[in-house]
């Protein structure tokens, strides 16, 4: 039972860190262009 005193706050902390990371990534524009990275690997670079 005492392990719950450790795991529940740890789970809440990890969940909060995940939400913060998602909000940070969304605000800084990480999800703006979702099409180009997928097609960039298909085409050769011009030299």
The confidence score (pLDDT) of residue 40 equals 78
Band the pLDDT of 14: cuts 50, 70, 90.
Answer: very high
Q: Give pTM, 2 decimals.
A: 0.66
What integer is the mean pLDDT of 7-34? 94
Q: Which two tokens stand for residue 36?
A: 């180009």
Residue 4, SS3 per DSSP: helix
How far is 43 from 38, CA to CA, in rounded Å? 10
For residue 44, pLDDT over 80 is answered with no
Q: Which of 39, 38, 21 is nearest to 30 (CA)?
A: 21
Band the pLDDT of 47: cuts 50, 70, 90.
Answer: low
What integer is the mean pLDDT of 21-44? 85
């Amino acid at each position: 039972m005492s392990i719950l005193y450790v795991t529940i706050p740890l789970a809440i902390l990890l969940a909060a860190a995940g939400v913060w990371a998602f909000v940070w990534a969304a605000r800084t524009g990480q999800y703006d262009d979702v099409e180009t990275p997928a097609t960039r690997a298909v085409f050769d670079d011009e030299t």
